[in-house]
Structure 1
Amino acid sequence: MTTDDILEPTAPPAAPSTPRGTLRPVLLRLHFCAGILVGPFLVVAAITGLLYVFTPQLEQVVYDHELHVPAGTTAQPLSAQVATAENAVPEGTLYSVRPGPTATDTTQVVFKVDGLPESYYRTAFVNPYDGEIRGVLDTYGSGGPMPIRGWLDNLHRNLHLGDVGRIYSELAASWLAVVVAGGLVLWWGGRRRKRKVTTGRARTLSWHATTGTWVALVLFFLSATGLTWSQFAGQNISEVRAALSWQTPSVPSKLPGAAAAPAVDFDGALAAARTVGLDDPVEITPPGAGKAYVVKQIQRSWPERQDSAAIDPATGEVLNVLRFEDWPLAAKLARWGIDAHMGLLFGLANQIVLAVVMAGLIAMIVWGYRMWWQRRPAGRPVGRPFVRGSLRRLPMKVLVPLAAAGIVVGWFMPVFGLSLLAFLLLDAFLGWRAHRRRPTVARAGT
């Protein structure tokens, strides 16, 4: 199979007579070619996302020894548990402490360690009743994901290929919204057509379109939230959020005046945070030079609990409190969006919806390739795309805003813009080559 088999049309295009009629062939060709070329990346993203979505339950089983202990009667002070953990991880610098939220949970003491990959920490799991170290593991990111979730997260994000691998996920997230939007427009334009044929390509198209219509809203959501993690578009999104003051706020932790010697331990800081309503689960960050303790809630399921407080390490006074309800709306939406994308916001229901949508996306792509195969000409292994040349026949009142939108979106999402440009250049080259071949073929037949 050659590139021509994928991108070269078999017949000259008809001449549509209305702006809508001229736009539909463009969408058909774009939807077809983008689906063929980007489909494999979307399948990989869907499969890795499907593997990731149920990791919270999986890690409770795999890491049961590290995460859980039999309920006891009296817990040791947090400061004693931290001292035990520091002896177990002498190479680390204390980063935070997560007390067990229930009577059967271990205390997680988190350390920064030189030589670990970015966003990785070394965590000691301490039995709060007898101080036993239940295990020491390298954990990933915020919220304490265990190693298996960190491994699958990186598989989904970059295929364990570093920054180069992140291009795959950004390509998938960028094109997902475009392909889905094009498919919806095509479905809307052809929804009144009655298809009496219920076999072959017509039936496959019906399955493809119906599934796409049902899952489109969630796919748009996954595309938008996925781009916030991306390498290039994600940077642009961060800059926009910063310019509009939509960033996630943090509680002020700078100490007023000269810093006194710390006299309050982790237990005192936690007790002070309890007085302003910070219930479990929480994470305690130790004070740095001129800084206070920071105690913050880390519940990422609905209703989210993300309140935080700064505690004076010398007096135990609560210096500042930041409530989640006081976050900017955009910061709240970003928090909810990210947690829903990860399957955390609404628990099992959230996970099931994501799993169904990912399965639907994979099925749609398979049906798309099947339609390509079903429309193949006799003697060819695969089908041909919709005809070339429809873009040139767009009226200026359609072409100019369409091109302007493409430039703006391509600038904001560089991986999408460059891949679209590469596709257009390749398509133009193949068209030029096909045009050059036609006279030769004609002469050979005379």
Structure 2
Amino acid sequence: MTIVSTATAAPERAGRPVASVYRAVWRWHFYAGLITLPFLILLAVTGGLYLFKAEIDGLIHRDVKQVEARMTGERPPSEIVTQAVKAFPGQAVKYTPPESATASAEVTIRDAGGTRMVVYVDPYDARVLGQIPDKGTVMWVIRQIHSLAYFGPVANGAIEIAGGWAILLVLTGLYLWWPRKQSGGVVTVRGKPRQRVFWRDLHAVTGLVAGGFILFLAITGMPWSVLWGNKVNQWANGHNFGYPAGVRVALPMSDEHLAHVAPTTWSLEQAKLPVSQVAGGEPIGLDAAVAAFDRLGLTRGYAVNLPGGPGGVYTGSVYPKDMALQRVIHLDQYSGKPLIDMSYADYGPLGKALEWGINVHMGQEFGLANQLVLLAACLAIVLLCVSALVMWWKRRPQGSLGVPPLPAEKATLRGVVALLAIGGLAFPLVGLSLIVMVAVDGILVRKMQPIGA
């Protein structure tokens, strides 16, 4: 239901074979819209909000995230962590130094029951400002809803299906939009809001403008998907412990993955952590580790994951809007020596391309312009969904689902399904849903009263 031709009669004049192909594509475009429409609205609304994650979180949680800048120096990280643990007893697992002079420090603590809490501390006097459950900020909740991860892996799989169908939706919509000797509704909108032609033209023109953005967002969103994204991640990063070639050195590696202990890029989720070499010495401590990360030039805004045991390491990681500054450093907790130091420049061509797509998808690569363009795309997606619903409602026969009519030549329907199956091979969950829809189309929908064009 994304892009519907403004002149259904045009393919009819072109001959029966062309009309049959048109009807077959229209029928499956309808099914694709039926599957994706509620998800597209959800993704557009939550995605549009998440584009402004820092701004919205900074406003809503300003009481704990912002402090008054002072001339006095910051308190030692160890003191800040000590005060945070007093407020929420447990084991400190992560420390985030203040990103700017007006930002608070953050300490993530895990209690005896496994609950994680982020405690915010004024870095100038080590005064506790408040606490929020880990991943409990407004924008984290929005992000979890955006991927449906908030509702478990099954729901997250539904987003993967919707993303795959959105790609098919745009491609079939482009075919339906393609001008067939008509002039109206190609790049202009005819009629008035009370007329169906107005909504049909608005849908077509908006789809033409937004279709490329939908394709981009669907494709770049796939790396996060529960099945396809996970398998591609393992395939792409499963060699050399997941690190880019030439970066990993001959060090003992643990069985712990970087994604399990720290936020990281998609490309490094499968990367394994190195092991500190216990040689009878004393750990250097958090203060020395933070000083080492600053000395090594890790961009502020980085987070420090504390060692998880005698063989653990200090992991400093930062993922700013400028991808050139992305960096992960693992320090031996006894010697303070960098065991691994990698940045965006060390990724391979595939890793760089994927990370660039993800960065643009999140509205980070080109600053405010990136955010505003994608916000406009999200609004266009909502408009597409609304116009599709209105258009369907205006032509829907009473008591019928309003499925587009079967083509005169049934072979064309099978041909279109075969083409869609190619997408199903690329995205297995989409392929499974395609099989279900083919069964529904054959058993139920064909019994319904078809409508005219």
My pick for the range that moved more, 148-157 or 47-56, is 47-56
Cα distance, 1:225 vs structure 2: 2.6
Taking the aligned partners of 1:381 and 1:74, their CA distance within structure 2 comes to 72
Partner residue, 1:264: 284
Q: In the alignment, which residue of structure 1 is the partner of 2:374?
A: 354
Give the alignment's TM-score, normalised by structure 1: 0.80
Match of 2:7 in 1: none
> Which range moves more in the overlay, 333-342 or 173-182?
333-342
Asked whether the 8 Å contact 2:12–2:19 carries over to 1, the reply is: no
Structure 1 residues 390 and 229, CA, compared in 2 at 3 Å: closer, same or farther?
farther
1:275 maps to 2:295:
yes
**Matching of residues 52-131 of structure 1 within 5 Å:** 52-72=50-70, 73-91=72-90, 93-113=91-111, 121-131=116-126
Q: Determine if contact 2:97/2:106 at 8 Å carries over to the other structure.
A: yes
Q: Does structure 2 retain, via aligned residues, the 8 Å contact 1:252–1:320?
A: no
Q: Secondary structure at the match of 2:147?
A: helix
Pick aligned residue for 2:341 from 306, 321, 331: 321
Work out the CA distance in 1 between the residues paired with 2:428 and 2:172. Answer: 20
What is the rounded CA distance, in whole Å, between the counterparts of 1:313 and 1:226 in structure 2?
Answer: 36
1:198 deviates by 2.5
Contact 1:375 1:383 in 2 (8 A): no
Show CA shifts across 1:57-78 (max 9, x none).
1211221121111122121111
2:190 to 181, 195, 198: 198
CA distance in structure 1 between the aligned counterparts of 2:273 and 2:25, rounded to whole angstroms? 51
SS at match of 1:228: helix
What is residue 229 of structure 2 aligned with on the other side? 234
8 Å Cα contact 2:276-2:333 kept in structure 1: no
Amino acid of the structure 2 residue aligned with 1:60? G
Of residues 122, 131, 135, the one that matches 1:136 is 131
**Structure 1 pair 78/383, CA: closer, same or farther in 2 (3 Å)?**
closer
Tell me the secondary structure at the aligned position of residue 275 of structure 2. coil
In structure 1, distance between residues paired with 2:409 and 2:12: 13
Contact 2:157-2:429 at 8 Å conserved across structures: yes
Label 1:391 to 1:338 Cα distance change in 2 as closer, same or farther (>3 A): farther
The answer to whether the 8 Å contact 1:96/1:111 transfers is yes
Aligned residue pairs total 405
Q: Distance in 2 between matches of 1:253 and 1:49?
A: 35
1:441 counterpart residue number: none
Shift of 1:336: 3.0
Q: How far is the alpha carbon of 1:419 from its aligned partner?
A: 2.5
- Which residues in structure 2 correspond to 1:272-421 (within 5 Å)? 272-287=292-307, 288-299=309-320, 301-376=321-396, 380=398, 384-389=402-407, 392-394=410-412, 399=415, 406-421=420-435
CA distance in 2 between partners of 1:21 and 1:243 (Å): 48
Call closer, same or farther: CA 1:166–1:406 in 2, change over 3 Å.
same
Q: How does 1:175-254 map to 2 (within 5 A)?
A: 175-188=165-178, 190=179, 192-195=181-184, 198-199=190-191, 200-242=195-237, 248-249=267-268, 253-254=274-275
Provide the residue aligned with 1:423 in structure 2.
437
Determine if contact 1:236/1:412 at 8 Å carries over to the other structure: no
Max radius of gyration: which structure?
Answer: 1
Letter in 2 for 1:317: K
Question: Match for 1:290: what amino acid?
Answer: G
Please say if residues 66 and 104 of structure 2, whose CA atoms lie closer than 8 Å, have aligned partners that are also in contact. yes
- Tell me the CA shift for residue 98 of structure 1: 0.8
Unaligned segments of structure 2, at least 5 residues: 1-10, 245-265
How many Å apart are 1:348 and its aligned residue? 3.0
Q: How much identity, in percent, do the aligned residues show?
A: 27
1:431 CA drift (Å): 6.1
Q: Which runs of 5+ in 1 are unaligned?
A: 1-12, 141-145, 436-446
Q: Supply the AA of the counterpart residue of 1:175.
A: W
Q: Which moved more, 1:320-329 or 1:178-187?
A: 320-329
- Secondary structure (helix, strand or coil) at the match of 1:296 reads strand
Kindly provide the amino acid, as one letter, of the partner of residue 141 in structure 2.
Answer: W
What CA distance in whole angstroms lies between the structure 2 residues aligned with 1:50 and 1:284? 30
> For residue 5 of structure 2, what is the aligned residue in structure 1?
none
For residues 183-203 of structure 1, the C-alpha deviation after alignment (integer angstroms, 9 at most, x for no partner) is 112223x26422389223333
**Is the CA contact (8 Å cut-off) linking 1:372 and 1:382 kept in structure 2?**
no
In structure 2, relative to structure 1, the CA distance for the partners of 1:252 and 1:321 (3 Å cut) is: farther
Which is further off, 215-224 or 419-428? 419-428
Letter in 2 for 1:248: S
User: 1:407 offset after TM fit, Å?
Assistant: 4.0
- Distance across 2 between alignment mates of 1:124 and 1:383: 52
2:26 to 13, 16, 28: 28
Query: Residue 7 of structure 1 aligns with which residue?
Result: none
Q: 1:234 to 1:313 in 2, by over 3 A?
A: closer
How far is 1:160 from its partner?
Answer: 4.1
What pairs with 1:10-25 in structure 2 (closer than 5 Å)? 22-25=20-23
- CA deviations 1:101-148 (Å, max 9, x no partner) are 21221111112346567xxx31111111111111121121xxxxx521
Give yes or no for contact 1:251–1:310 (8 Å, CA) kept in 2. no
Report the counterpart of residue 3 of structure 1 in structure 2: none
CA 1:348 to 1:112, structure 2 compared with 1: closer, same or farther past 3 Å?
farther
User: What RMSD in Å do the two structures reach over aligned CA positions?
Assistant: 3.2
Shift of 1:365: 1.6
Return the alpha-carbon distance in structure 2 between the equivalents of residues 263 and 234 of structure 1. Answer: 38
CA shift at 1:180, angstroms?
Answer: 1.0
| C-alpha deviation, 1:381, in angstroms | 6.8
